[in-house]
Amino acid sequence: MTPQDQPSSESSDVTHVAAERVRIFDTTLRDGEQAPGFSMDRRAKLRMAHALEALGVDVIEAGFPIASPDDFGSVAEIARVLRGPTVCGLARCHDKDIEAAGRALEAARHARIHLFLSTSPLHREHKLNMSQQQVIDTASAAIERAKTLCHEVEFSAEDATRTEPEYLVDVFSAAVAAGATTLNVPDTVGYTTPVEMAELITYLRQHVRGAERVIFSTHCHDDLGMGVANSLAGVAAGARQVECTINGIGERAGNASMEEIVMALRVRGAFYGVDTGIDTRKLYPTSRLLTQLTGQGVPRNKAVVGENAFAHESGIHQHGMLKHRGTYEIMRPQDVGMGETRLVLGKHSGRHALRQRLQTLGHTPDEASMDNIFTRFKALADKKREVHDEDLEAIALGMDPEATGPWRLVHLNTNSHLGGSASASVRLAHDEGQDVGEAAIGDGPVDAVLRAIERATGTTLDVTHFQVRAVSEGGDAQGQAQLIARHDERDWRGAGVSTDIIEATALAALAIVNRIERQAPAQPAAAVAHL
């Protein structure tokens, strides 16, 4: 490995002048959406399409128009409203499919019909019952027909990586002669390896007649966990389009993940010598949007967009990060639109990260006090998965972190119904002996609970971030609510855990209220007017 190929801690900060552009072909709305558990209605598809356009995707495969009237309508609507990317519709090499795709794409500013036909011996015999020549003739006729209905045609040799390379050359040569401008090499069942993919792309570029006039593309599935690696191998061998999906969703184990491919090409720009047109700062927001539209989250350890992608708990890692972020991060969370690196305080954390967090919270203990705080912190961390700010403040103030106050939740009740507002009532107890109950109406149960707590405590909270996640599995899983609220020109954080996510939200809000009150002793609870 040459010095310029060494991973650089600042690699994501450097503007790389790429020799060539790799086109990003997104199939989230077609291959991704057809996977079990990921279906979207027309409104959701349109919203996702706008996000993909803003992200800078070159080609959006909007759907499979012949599949259903709703799929046809979704493709037609996306084709009508998008102005930046090429809008693509999938079609088999059948006249009815091609005509449906052509009609659906009529209003597109730039339209592409994506034709596919199986080429491997297994598929020719058991799926198509066609000879080699019949496959070539069928593909050629379909491409010639599609050319009359759109701006450009892409041809995919389904199961290409299990097709005889010499025969694949013949198929693709015929496709070029018929008018295809993009030749896609799908690893349909995720069978190939990076070395094999690189060799195949190289072989095709050398032997397909007219190869210099077309773009070679990859479409890799992740059945053996190599979808991204195979796609990148294709790029290294000269493929200049990559077909992928947000969060890697798709049939079976999914497709190659767009965010991983794009960031690999950016972080290792000196190695690959190419670039994309993706605004990487929108990768995380787009990933989050997809999880909201489908109800399917991503694993915490998912590369690039997972919750742990820029989180560190190990004391060794945290110490290194505090010295120089490049020690344990090859890209910044800001590069993908995720915000700040998180140093998670837990049982693996060390004194350096603890001291840094205490200083952020306004506490600067001397060495003797720090010894005591660190001992208490470790004892608490052995009991909890994550130690939160309110826990640290309680320890720093000499309090019991598992009995923080002054406010405690005594009773909570919420009601909501479809199409109307929600209501909530709370009863809170204070360490000084007061007991107060309040009720409020809100847009939903969470909003109503927050309003009721504001009224009961007299503390105004401008919530700027709200997130709920499961901390265990199953129907009785505990949910953790995390809040960030603005109060007196400062951001305050709170977290709460309960099997009831509304209760978890109330506990998170009270954690913030308690922190505010503990740090403002001049405003005791007795000052609350209704007490």
SS3 labels along 90-130: EEECCHHHHHHHHHHCCCCCCEEEEEEEECCHHHHHHHHCC
Contact assessment for residue 175 and residue 151, using Cβ atoms and an 8 Å cutoff: no
pLDDT at 321: 59
Residue (of 159, 179, 216) closest to 20 by Cα position: 216
pLDDT at 12: 40
Tokens 């759907």, located at residue: 63
Cα separations in angstroms, 178 against 89, 128, 146, 154: 19, 21, 10, 11
Report helix, strand or coil for 466. strand
Decide: residue 347, CB within 10 A, 0-12 exposed, 13-18 middle, 19+ buried.
Answer: middle
**Cis check: omega of the bond before 524, within 30 degrees of 0:** no
H-only helix segments in 183-340: 194-207, 227-236, 258-267, 269-272, 283-294, 315-323
C-alpha–C-alpha distance, residues 25 and 5, integer Å: 27
C-alpha–C-alpha distance, residues 156 and 255, integer Å: 15
* Domain ranges for the chain: 22-294, 311-403, 407-527
H-only helix segments in 304-350: 315-323
Tokens 């099997």, located at residue: 499
CA gyration radius, the chain = 28
Residue 63's H or E segment, with its range, is strand 59-63
H-only helix segments in 268-366: 269-272, 283-294, 315-323, 351-360
Residue (of 70, 145, 164, 261) closest to 155 by Cα position: 145
C-alpha–C-alpha distance, residues 205 and 450, integer Å: 61
Tokens 């000879």, located at residue: 131
pLDDT along the chain (531 residues), means of 10: 40 46 97 91 95 97 96 97 97 98 97 98 95 98 98 98 98 98 98 98 98 98 98 98 97 96 95 96 92 87 82 60 66 81 67 76 79 81 71 66 76 87 92 90 92 93 84 58 86 81 90 83 37 28
pLDDT at 173: 98
Q: Cα-Cα-Cα-Cα dihedral of 34, 287, 285, 264, to 10°? A: -130
CATH of domain 407-527: 3.30.160.270
Tokens 């077909």, located at residue: 243
**Helices and strands per DSSP (H, E), number in the chain:** 17, 18
Please name the residues in contact with 112: beta carbons below 8 A apart, sequence gap of 6 or more. Answer: 59, 86, 87, 88, 89, 105, 150, 151, 152, 153, 154, 182
The CATH superfamily of 22-294 is: Aldolase class I (3.20.20.70)
B/e letters for 89-111, b = 16+ CB within 10 Å, e = fewer, are bbbbbeeebbbbbbebbeebebb
Residue (of 226, 209, 230) closest to 217 by Cα position: 230
